[in-house]
């Protein structure tokens, strides 16, 4: 009976991964602990299977639509390998109730990040509408006048959320800036650490990092985030299998439900305002975090 109750949550996990590029995986551990009845350490290992497969399934649709930048995703994942291995070692040494209490704090941070992203999406939409309205009223053509404008970084996000495609001047291709490499290395390591320690994908960190550090547009950041999540989960799972097994009787139906949710999330992302999805899910995270914190503190 408890297993049947997790199926709707599996759908929610996949739905958030497919639509937002992260966030849903953070619900997997509480569901596996409080509804299925697994221990926190078993739940973390099992969630890596669920999250990794669901992320891989959700990535397929984004890849077909050209929203996954494979090379950048591989570099980001490579930066997280050391963090993932360290997180796995730390997980073994931490009291399970302390793990859950800390996890509740991570959920609150994730909810806050999603709310911030929702506000940013609303501002971008408002700016795009304002720009479209202004251009439709004051359209002036000057065929003899040449105006030069600064070139946008390839892949940078413009005011309307689109990706800038202007190429760099020939013969003058600069490599990635040191600050960008540093941001990617730090963000990748933090995400890997969280994946190994908590069994979450870390999409709520990956997506903003790809947008701010690499200039990705939102849709490409979401698609690429799923690739990073899948790789990080695989690394963390391999390092844990020697000490903690996977509850396959739970993992298989939960993963199937999450995969179905990820496919639905791809379609939902193109039909629903991103800010609406983000706010709804942020609210759900706060509710689950409150329950998780109350239970873990009571056990302590």
pLDDT of residue 163: 45
- Domain contains 140: no
Q: Provide the number of structural domains found in the chain.
A: 1
- Domain contains 151: no
- Domain contains 49: yes
Rounded to 5°, angle at Cα 67 from 225 and 130: 100
pLDDT of residue 2: 64
Instruction: Return the DSSP state at 200.
Output: -
pLDDT of residue 133: 78
Whether 119 shows a pLDDT value over 70: the answer reads yes
For residues 53-71, average pLDDT: 87
Say if residues 199 and 29 touch (Cβ distance below 8 Å).
yes
pLDDT of residue 70: 92
pLDDT of residue 137: 53
The packing angle between helices 203-214 and 178-198, to 10°, is: 180
- Domain contains 146: no
Q: Which residues are CB-contacts of 165 (< 8 A; sequence separation ≥ 6)?
A: 154
pLDDT of residue 31: 84
- Domain contains 154: no
Measure CA 53 to chain center. Answer: 14
What per-residue string of b and e applies to 78-114 under the rule 16 or more CB within 10 Å gives b?
A: bbbbbbbbbbbeebeeeebeebbbebbebbeebbebb
Its domain, for residue 91, covers: 2-126+177-299
Say if residues 281 and 35 touch (Cβ distance below 8 Å).
no
- Domain contains 170: no
pLDDT of residue 23: 66
d(CA 194, CA 26): 11
Whether 147 shows a pLDDT value over 70: the answer reads no
Whether 64 shows a pLDDT value over 60: the answer reads yes
List, for residues 126-143, the tens digit of each pLDDT value. Answer: 888 888 877 655 544 445
- Domain contains 135: no
pLDDT of residue 175: 53
For residues 200-217, average pLDDT: 76
Measuring CA to CA, which residue among 87, 80, 12, 83 is closest to residue 50?
Answer: 12
Say if residues 76 and 210 touch (Cβ distance below 8 Å).
yes
Higher pLDDT, 82 or 168: 82
- Domain contains 147: no
């Amino acid at each position: 009976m408890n297993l049947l109750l997790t199926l709707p949550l599996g759908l929610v996990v996949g739905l958030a991964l497919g639509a937002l590029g992260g966030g849903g995986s953070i619900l997997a551990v509480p569901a596996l602990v409080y509804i299925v009845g697994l221990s926190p350490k078993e739940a973390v290992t099992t969630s890596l299977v669920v999250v990794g497969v669901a992320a891989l399934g959700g990535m397929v649709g984004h890849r077909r639509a050209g929203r996954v930048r494979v090379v950048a995703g591989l570099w980001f994942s490579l930066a997280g390998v050391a963090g993932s291995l360290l997180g796995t070692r730390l997980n073994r040494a931490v009291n399970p109730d302390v793990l859950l209490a800390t996890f509740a704090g991570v959920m609150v941070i994730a909810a806050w990040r999603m709310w911030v992203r929702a506000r940013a999406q609303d501002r971008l939409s408002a700016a795009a509408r304002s720009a479209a309205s202004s251009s439709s009223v004051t359209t002036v053509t000057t065929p003899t006048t040449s105006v030069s404008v600064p070139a946008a970084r390839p892949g940078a996000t413009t005011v309307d959320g689109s990706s800038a495609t202007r190429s760099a001047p020939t013969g003058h291709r600069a490599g990635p800036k040191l600050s960008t490499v540093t941001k990617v290395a730090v963000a990748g390591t933090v995400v890997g650490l969280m994946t190994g320690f908590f069994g979450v994908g870390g999409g709520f960190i990956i997506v903003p990092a790809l947008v701010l550090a690499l200039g990705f547009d939102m849709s490409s950041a979401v698609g690429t985030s799923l690739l990073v999540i899948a790789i990080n989960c695989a690394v963390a799972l391999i390092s844990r299998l020697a000490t903690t097994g996977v509850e396959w009787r739970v993992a298989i139906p939960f993963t199937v439900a999450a995969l179905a949710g990820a496919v639905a999330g791809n379609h939902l992302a193109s039909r629903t305002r991103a800010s609406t999805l983000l706010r709804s899910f942020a609210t759900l995270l706060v509710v689950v975090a409150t329950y998780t914190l109350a239970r873990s503190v009571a056990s302590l």
